[in-house]
């Protein structure tokens, strides 16, 4: 019986987290890339809940009544953005409004990323990964198939670094345990980014469809309606960039037209200030 902590295997953990919203485990997750197919879906923009619990409201305001509570990893379609509120429809057909910084690309959902990590990465090491229920994602447990806990530090580090890159960007504590035992034999701590949860901006216009993180740099991909003026696009990019303070050192934002996919704006801000170019998806020199 566990007295000091409670933990479940990823399988049990995600049954707990996802029983209401995921029919099956995620087998493969691809990070957004500039060469990806960014064509507009026939019905809204695909997105996912990226927080543990999100209120689906009747209207675009905090004072509006709550229709339902959505869970991390739940799939949605974004229909429009009204001053920072996304009008969405769930897979069950329920419509409502959520704040734009609570919904985003699949790679920002820890639940989906941890499931994918367990499916695709852990079999390479012949190991099982468990998550501490009381300190989810920050504390994990490793159990190797051969029952040994004398694994080289380099292997433990590879697993931890991959986990930090794919799932949780903050400091992670790793406990090694033996089969049929709940007592850690060895413990390691791996320092990550000083900010563990990647914040999302509240977009006054447009829809975030991709985000890439590279150490202290972040790149946002945004769809915007064709009729949004250049001035509004630039103000939106500046507000979005302001979301990323220390330890982020560089922010890039690429805005495309929602329908034609035409490049509308490239914006970058770093220690040297800001720069931007209209009708481009990269700096003028690119």
Query: Could you say which residues of the chain have pLDDT below 50?
Result: 1-42
Residue 37: exposure state from Cβ atoms within 10 A (0-12, 13-18, ≥19): exposed
Residues 6 or more apart whose CB falls under 8 angstroms from that of 239 comprise 201, 202, 203, 204
User: How many CA atoms lie less than 13 Å away from 277 in the CB half-sphere?
Assistant: 10
Residue 75's H or E segment, with its range, is strand 75-82
Domain definitions of the chain by residue range:
7-17+109-190, 33-104, 207-278
Contact (CB, 8 A) for 187 and 173 = yes
Q: How far is CA 23 from CA 28, 57, 113, 171, in A?
A: 15, 24, 16, 31
Residue 134 three-state SS: coil
Token pair in block for residue 170: 């903050």
Contact (CB, 8 A) for 186 and 151 = no
Q: Which CATH architecture has domain 33-104?
A: Roll (2.30)
- What confidence score (pLDDT) does residue 14 get? 39
Beta strands in 159-206 (DSSP E): 172-176, 186-190
Contact (CB, 8 A) for 202 and 100 = yes
> Which bin fits 191, alpha (ψ -120 to 50), beta or left (φ > 0)?
beta
Q: How far apart are CA 194 and CA 96, in angstroms?
A: 34
Residue 56 three-state SS: strand
CA dihedral 107, 113, 119, 122 (to 10 degrees): 110
- What confidence score (pLDDT) does residue 142 get? 92
């Amino acid at each position: 019986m566990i007295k000091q902590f409670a933990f479940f295997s990823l399988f049990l953990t995600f049954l707990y987290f996802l029983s209401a919203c995921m029919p099956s485990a995620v087998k493969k997750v691809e990070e957004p890339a500039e060469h990806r197919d960014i064509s507009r879906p026939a019905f809204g923009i695909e997105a996912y809940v990226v927080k543990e619990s999100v209120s689906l409201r009747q209207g675009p305001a905090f004072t509006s009544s709550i229709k339902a509570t959505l869970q991390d990893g739940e799939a949605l379609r974004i229909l429009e953005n009204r001053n920072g509120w996304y009008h969405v429809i769930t897979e069950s057909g329920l419509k409502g409004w959520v704040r734009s910084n609570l919904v985003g690309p699949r790679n920002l959902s820890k639940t989906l990323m941890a499931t994918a990590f367990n499916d695709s990465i852990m079999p390479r090491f012949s190991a099982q990964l468990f998550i501490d229920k009381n300190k989810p994602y920050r504390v994990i447990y490793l159990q190797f198939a051969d029952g040994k806990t004398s694994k080289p530090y380099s292997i433990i580090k590879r697993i931890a670094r991959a986990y930090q890159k794919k799932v949780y960007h903050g400091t992670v504590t790793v406990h090694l345990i033996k089969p049929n035992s709940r007592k850690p034999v060895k413990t390691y701590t791996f320092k990550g980014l000083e900010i563990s949860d990647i914040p999302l901006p509240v977009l006054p216009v447009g829809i975030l469809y991709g985000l890439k993180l590279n150490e202290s740099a972040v790149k946002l991909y945004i769809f915007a309606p064709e009729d949004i003026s250049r001035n509004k696009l630039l103000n939106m990019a500046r507000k979005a960039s302001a979301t990323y303070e220390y330890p982020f050192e560089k922010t890039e934002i690429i805005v495309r037209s929602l329908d034609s996919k035409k490049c509308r704006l490239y914006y970058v801000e770093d220690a040297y200030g800001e720069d931007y170019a209209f009708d481009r998806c990269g700096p003028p020199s690119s």
